[in-house]
Structure 1
Amino acid sequence: METWLRELSDEDRAFIKRFIIASGSLKALAKQYNVSYPTLRTRLDRLINKIKLLDDPESKGPLRMKIRSLAAEGVISTTVAKEILNAYEKEKGGREND
């Protein structure tokens, strides 16, 4: 199983499954979740960003992946995520291991 897929929550994987079963129809999926189309679109956009970040070779290491995942989910802003990662890199001093 791909690393990015393993790192997704059960809820995210269930969402992907329902999306595929709905043939990618956001309108049908919005009805299933009983939410508006824009709400569902926002959730899908966040999931897409999360997958991109988890699949990014720059995201190596559990701390980097977690911070990028939190930013993709909107838990923290991308600005805060960058500040944390920059501070981590500065403190780490270029070592390869987290």
Structure 2
Amino acid sequence: MTIELVPEWMAGLEEEDVTFIKRFVLSSGSLKDMARQYEVTYPTVRLRLDRLIQKIQMEEEKGPEPYVDFIKKLALNDKLDFETAKLIINEYRKERQDGA
């Protein structure tokens, strides 16, 4: 039996993202407290949380398609926005289905 210590979705995150998650949990999910801790505005913390949610969703959707994983990695590294990445991936999958 293999015990997974770190979930796959978490292994793909940067250390600062994991720190953010830890601080978020320790502040009982209060974005106001997080804004105070990071000395930024509430909307800034909300945006950071939204981006982190998108990263986790992308990590969860990893699959056996190297091209799709490459597009997701571009989005995670801010080389491509998430909406564009989703459009490219959906079009790619549609083309593969139509060709099969």
User: Is TM > 0.5 for Structure 1 vs Structure 2?
Assistant: yes
Aligned to 1:64: 68
Cα separation, partners in 2 of 1:15 and 1:74, compared to 1, 3 Å: same
Cα drift, residue 19 of structure 1:
0.3
In the alignment, which of 7, 12, 21 is matched to residue 16 of structure 1?
A: 21
TM-score by length of 2: 0.69
Aligned to 2:10: 5
Aligned to 2:80: 76
Unaligned stretches of 5+ in structure 1? none
Cα separation, partners in 2 of 1:80 and 1:16, compared to 1, 3 Å: closer
Whose radius of gyration is greater, 1 or 2?
Answer: 2
Unaligned stretches of 5+ in structure 2? 1-5
Cα drift, residue 63 of structure 1:
5.7
C-alpha contact 1:19 1:29 (8 A) present in aligned 2: yes
Cα drift, residue 12 of structure 1:
0.3
Aligned to 2:40: 35
TM-score by length of 1: 0.70
C-alpha contact 2:72 2:85 (8 A) present in aligned 1: no
Aligned-residue identity in percent: 43
Cα drift, residue 45 of structure 1:
0.5
Q: Which runs of 4+ in 1 moved over 6 A?
A: none
Instruction: Please give the root-mean-square deviation of Cα atoms over the aligned residues, in Å.
Output: 2.8
Cα separation, partners in 2 of 1:40 and 1:70, compared to 1, 3 Å: farther
